């Protein structure tokens, strides 16, 4: 590449984030990878050794002070971030709202909303300085558009991601920085294991007998968005597997 490209990926220790790290590295991008599980970050850096420069940061996006420190402390080689991939997020407690612990709701809000906002705010000056071609890719979900039982606060946080992305586009008009809400449907990652707090049977049951999206599928979409011509912005991409669609409205009957 004629220009050094740097991608900052949150939640890089598994799923979409890890797949994105591999995919962007294959195309020559330097990487800033953050996540809570440092041993996984080290393993990922080792796996990418010799391909591209990699800087890893043990980071919980819920800690806004740690986010500011991490961004301020980026080595010069990684300081010119061109693509921010706000991937860190989670769903918890796929059960009726009245049965969910309040702590699980708060964890989703703190991670999916506050964490995303903190990272974005910290990197906005860098992205604006980069200018044309810089991208913010926020990982949303079809849950931010389409309700379903057990989505409660998770879906609400992803609706925030969608609207925040749109609003951010308005404020960044004239800077050259583009913003996209990338909203996947059902995808086979650690997502369901986290959501069910380690219930492997529940995870296996969800994906059994169908063809969900893969983390690689979403990583390819991230790369496509990040490498569009500078004058193009995709506001939102909703990606579902062909074998997933909508059901009729539920009706309570006597």
Dig out the tokens for 211 from the structure.
Answer: 């063809």
Which single residue is written with the structure tokens 């086979």? 188
Catalytic residue among 148, 154, 207, 224: 154
Sign for the pseudo-dihedral over CA of 101, 206, 35, 178: negative
Distance CA 231, CA 132 (A): 8
Residues in the chain: 254
Distances (CA, A) of 184 to 1, 8, 19, 87: 29, 20, 14, 12
Could you confirm whether 207 is annotated as catalytic? no
Distance CA 231, CA 141 (A): 25
Which of 19, 86, 79 has the alpha carbon at shortest distance from 59?
A: 86
Distance CA 41, CA 57 (A): 8
| Residues marked as catalytic | 154
């Amino acid at each position: 590449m004629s220009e050094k490209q740097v991608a900052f990926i949150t939640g890089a220790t598994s799923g979409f984030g890890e797949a994105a790290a591999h995919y962007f590295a294959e195309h020559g991008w330097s990487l800033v990878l953050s996540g809570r599980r440092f041993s996984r970050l080290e393993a990922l850096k080792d796996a990418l050794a010799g391909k591209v420069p990699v800087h890893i940061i043990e980071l919980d996006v819920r800690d806004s002070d740690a986010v500011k420190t991490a961004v301020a402390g980026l080595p010069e080689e990684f300081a010119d971030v061109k693509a921010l991939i706000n991937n860190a997020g989670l769903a918890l407690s796929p059960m009726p709202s009245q049965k969910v612990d309040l702590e699980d709701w708060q964890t989703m809000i703190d991670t999916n909303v506050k964490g995303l906002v903190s990272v974005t705010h910290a990197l906005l000056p860098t992205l604006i300085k980069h200018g044309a071609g810089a991208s913010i890719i926020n990982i949303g979900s079809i849950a931010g558009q389409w309700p379903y039982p057990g989505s409660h606060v998770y879906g609400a946080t992803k609706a925030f991601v969608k609207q925040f992305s749109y609003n951010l586009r308005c404020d960044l008009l004239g800077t050259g920085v583009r913003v996209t809400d990338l909203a996947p449907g059902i995808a086979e990652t650690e997502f369901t294991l986290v959501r069910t707090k380690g219930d492997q049977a529940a995870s296996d049951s969800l994906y059994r007998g169908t063809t969900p999206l893969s983390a690689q599928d979403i990583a390819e979409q991230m790369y496509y968005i990040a490498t569009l011509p500078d004058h193009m912005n995709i506001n939102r991409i909703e990606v579902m597997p062909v074998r997933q669609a909508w059901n009729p409205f539920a009706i309570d009957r006597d």
